[in-house]
């Protein structure tokens, strides 16, 4: 009986957990791109960032802003340790992502 309760609780929690993981993953990815703006010498279109959020983040996701902030800070910290070659590779891909998402022209 106890096992059934645990399984039932997991099944109920799974959709919410999956949404939290998706939100955290998006915050991490977007945090990397946002942290790279100045680091890579880019200037992002603020309206495009707002449009990206509107299209990709649930309106009721109250945890996304703080998670994004944490991720931006973490990626900024990691950038300080990048070698010139890793910075070049990082910034090349960030610029491609930024362009694809209309953050830059």
Domain boundaries, the chain: 22-100
Question: Of the given ranges (12-16, 67-71, 74-78), which has the lowest mean pLDDT?
Answer: 12-16
pLDDT digits (tens, 9 = 90+) for 57-74: 999 999 999 999 999 999
Question: Rg of the chain's alpha carbons, rounded to an integer?
Answer: 17
Position 7 confidence tier, pLDDT thresholds 50, 70, 90: low
Structure tokens at 86: 């890793």
Query: What is the per-residue pLDDT for 80?
Result: 97
Cα angle value 48/74/69 (rounded, 5°): 45
Residue 26 above 60 pLDDT?
yes
- Label residue 87 exposed, middle or buried (CB < 10 Å: 0-12, 13-18, 19+): middle
């Amino acid at each position: 009986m106890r096992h059934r309760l645990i399984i039932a609780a997991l099944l109920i929690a799974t959709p919410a957990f999956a949404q939290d993981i998706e939100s955290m993953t998006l915050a991490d990815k977007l945090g990397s791109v946002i942290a790279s703006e100045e680091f890579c010498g880019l200037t992002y279109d603020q309206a495009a960032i707002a449009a990206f959020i509107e299209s990709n983040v649930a309106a009721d996701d109250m945890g996304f802003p703080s998670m994004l902030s944490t991720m931006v800070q973490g990626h900024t910290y990691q950038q300080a340790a990048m070698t010139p070659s890793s910075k070049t590779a990082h910034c090349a891909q960030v610029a491609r992502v930024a362009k694809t998402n209309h953050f830059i022209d």
